[in-house]
Amino acid sequence: MGETEYSEALKLGKKEYRARIAKGQFPYLPVLDEILSEADIQTEQNMGLVHVPLDFVVGTSTMGRTYSFAANFMPILDWETEFAVKWSNLSDAQMNEGIRDPIKAFEYMNRYYVLEGNKRVSVLKYFNAVSIPAIVTRKIPKLSDDYDVRLYYEYMKFNEITGLCSVEFTKLGNADKLLSLVGKEGRWDDETKEKFAKVMFDFSKVYNFRGGDRLDIKLGDAITVFMEVFGMDAMLEMSENDYNKNVINTWKEFAAEGEKHKINLVLDPKKVQTKKSLLNYLIPQTQKKLKVVFLYPREPKTSAWLYSHELGRMYLDETFSDKLETEYVAGVDENNVEQVLEDIIKAGADIIFCVGPQMMPNSLKVAVEHPEVYILNCSLNAPHPYIRTYYGRMYEAKFLAGMIAGAVTDNERVAYIADYPIYGMIANINAFALGVASVNPRAKVYLAWSKTKDYDRNKFLTENDLHYVSDQDIITPNDASRYFGLYKLQDGQALNLAMPIWNWGVFYEKLLQSVLAGSYKAEGQEQVKALNYWWGMSAGVIDLICSKHVPYGVKRLADHLKSDITKGEVVPFFGQIYDQKGELKNKGEHEMKPSDIMKMDWLVDNVVGSIPPMSEFVDNAKMVVELKGVEENKL
């Protein structure tokens, strides 16, 4: 019996050998000793007895046995050898009672190289066994900036907590995200492992059947994406039909996960064709009004930020009174957003603007289940194709404000008060600092964060002798302070100099025009990546208004630069730019990429201050920072 099995295995081995020779590839098993040297290894760790997935057993530890096997672990030595007889005996043992003795192996980067037991691996692979017991020694590579090494260090943490070695990831951060989504603190107990095994089996069965194994992501990435949308508890209750429907609906999210750059930044609105055909005049137009709903975390009159969006909503009512109707819902947060969305969709909402990044996670499931409704979130750097995001390139106005501040400061010191270190905010700070430096190379920008626990505005300004301040962009209706925009402190009062403007009405108008013209839907169908609208002065979404207190010559320069920025002839992030550590972040005569501007987690060299860690923020700010904060502060 064993001879027959060996003959079949030999055919598979020789077929693999010939195929690899034809492709110019090494036809034998990889050898760990030739892949790495001891100089590459940080340390070794005894892992004890591990049930190793056979798919992950890929080679031998030493050169001794490698020429007995093809690269697929099938034998290539003829029958008239001692090796073949031993292989056949193991084959008989597997069919009669099963191979139980563990092999010995080294693990390196979650792949296993056999020290003792190559024939046992070969036999079990021939019989399509799933795993093999092994006494494992892990070789841990030295930590470096290499992407695969960083990914492996995340895997080791995941493996230590879960005990799983078959779940792999291709994206940094997904291992930690999956642990968070499962929601078990500390090491997984047997109950958690059983629950996860169930959802992994049910999900992978449908996902692979639908072709998921052909995507450029690992199963660990895919289940992380799916669980982020639906949640662990819902997955435990799903039937096979539920999985089929939900996997199909979520496919764009899987595909986007495989993209190297998951986000497509749209920097300017597309021109909308407004010409009508003859049929438009001959056939009465009976299209119903679109229902547009804005979701706010609280009443807009209590927040300068929300009030600017509310002005945009009211502008839509005036501009499109015959084509759409708008309303807003306040008091929407991460806890109730899913139910609010379901309710307003049931009530006929066509387009929904979620004005708060904290609404994003629980909005995703609704967006996946209701592709007929357009759901957008006001934030940056969101990698979800089903929810488009939007924001303004405020850094363009901040650059101009910085130039004004640098020109008028009387002691080469300027204050910048920020709130959250979220995507886009660091670009604002750095652009302001570059604007200051463009006219006053010796001036420093002193940075404070208003949402930190120890923030004391008066103490910050007094101790640092700061007279010129860049503060919140607009007035809060319920607190009409003059501490907004760029101002000078004079006799304890604010003398306003310049105010950055968010023209949300213009943004919403142009976006709704694309919806009415049909180009919004077409734009989404063309993309696998997530669409992030990041419009600026060129679109009329961002502006800067100067008061009469700005010196004439300075205002004239600011107006000239604003015109050049609008036309794309001047960009704030151009030429040599150094960070606080003296590292070159942008080369001379080069314009910084928009994606690099968006993801900034460093400060330019004339900024005095830092990006605080999460622990320093007040509790009601932590949710926003956790969701949309730059990487530097997620420590």
CATH code of the domain covering residue 624: 3.40.50.2300
Do 612 and 467 lie in one domain? The reply is yes
Asked if residue 66 belongs to a domain, the reply is yes
| 100-151 pLDDT, tens digit each | 899 999 999 999 999 999 999 999 999 999 999 999 999 999 999 999 999 9
Do 309 and 333 lie in one domain? The reply is yes
Asked if residue 122 belongs to a domain, the reply is yes
Of 142, 177, 206, the residue at which a domain comes to its end is 142
| Assigned token pair, 616 | 């320093």
Chain mean position to CA 368: 18
Do 320 and 448 lie in one domain? The reply is no
Residue 2 has pLDDT above 80, yes or no: no
| pLDDT score for 503 | 96
| 308-366 pLDDT, tens digit each | 999 999 999 999 999 999 999 999 999 999 999 999 999 999 999 999 999 998 999 99
- Say if strands 444-449 and 468-470 run parallel, antiparallel, or are unpaired: unpaired
Burial of 597 (0-12, 13-18, 19+ CB in 10 A): buried
Per-position DSSP letters for 344-412, written without gaps between them: HHHTT-SEEEE--GGGHHHHHHHHHH-TTSEEEEE-S----TTSEEEEE-THHHHHHHHHHHHHH-SSS
Task: Mention every residue, 6+ apart, whose C-beta is less than 8 A from residue 2.
Answer: 87, 88, 89, 90, 91, 92
How many C-alpha atoms does 1 have within 13 Å on its Cβ side?
Answer: 8
Residue 279 has pLDDT above 50, yes or no: no
| 168-179 pLDDT, tens digit each | 999 999 999 999
Do 12 and 129 lie in one domain? The reply is yes
Burial of 390 (0-12, 13-18, 19+ CB in 10 A): buried
Of 258, 288, 312, the residue at which a domain comes to its end is 258
Do 433 and 582 lie in one domain? The reply is yes
Of 224, 258, 292, the residue at which a domain comes to its end is 258
Residue 423's φ and ψ, nearest 5 degrees, are -55, 130
Asked if residue 368 belongs to a domain, the reply is yes
- Distance, in Å, from the CA atom of 111 to the CA atom of 97, rounded to the nearest integer, reads 28
**Full strand arrangement of the beta sheet holding 103-108:** 41-53, 131-141, 103-108, 111-116, 57-60
Asked if residue 463 belongs to a domain, the reply is yes
| 197-218 pLDDT, tens digit each | 999 999 999 999 999 999 999 9
- Distance, in Å, from the CA atom of 233 to the CA atom of 227, rounded to the nearest integer, reads 9
Chain mean position to CA 243: 24
| pLDDT score for 482 | 75
Please state at what angle helix 2-22 crosses helix 118-126, rounded to 10 degrees: 90
| 149-162 pLDDT, tens digit each | 999 999 999 999 99
Residue 392's φ and ψ, nearest 5 degrees, are -115, 150
Asked if residue 268 belongs to a domain, the reply is no
| pLDDT score for 481 | 67
| pLDDT score for 631 | 56
| Assigned token pair, 318 | 């005036």
Task: Find the Cα–Cα–Cα–Cα dihedral 149, 150, 153, 157, rounded to 10°.
Answer: -150
Mean pLDDT confidence for 188-196: 96
| 516-570 pLDDT, tens digit each | 888 888 886 666 788 999 999 999 999 999 999 999 999 999 999 999 999 999 9
- Distance, in Å, from the CA atom of 514 to the CA atom of 510, rounded to the nearest integer, reads 6
Average pLDDT, whole number, for the chain? Answer: 92
| 404-444 pLDDT, tens digit each | 999 999 999 999 999 989 889 999 999 999 999 999 999 99
| pLDDT score for 89 | 94
Of 390, 391, 341, nearest in space to 361 by CA = 341
Do 295 and 429 lie in one domain? The reply is no
Asked if residue 271 belongs to a domain, the reply is no
Residue 79 has pLDDT above 80, yes or no: yes
State the total domains in the chain.
4
| pLDDT score for 259 | 81
Do 442 and 493 lie in one domain? The reply is yes
Do 611 and 488 lie in one domain? The reply is yes
- Say if strands 131-141 and 41-53 run parallel, antiparallel, or are unpaired: antiparallel
Asked if residue 385 belongs to a domain, the reply is yes
Do 567 and 487 lie in one domain? The reply is yes
Do 495 and 438 lie in one domain? The reply is yes
Considering the chain, what percentage of its residues have pLDDT values greater than 90?
79
Asked if residue 371 belongs to a domain, the reply is yes
Task: Mention every residue, 6+ apart, whose C-beta is less than 8 A from residue 30.
Answer: 58, 59, 60, 66, 71, 113
- Distance, in Å, from the CA atom of 107 to the CA atom of 466, rounded to the nearest integer, reads 58
- Domain hosting residue 155, numbered range: 145-258
Do 348 and 493 lie in one domain? The reply is no
Do 168 and 36 lie in one domain? The reply is no
CATH of the domain at 94: 3.90.1530.10
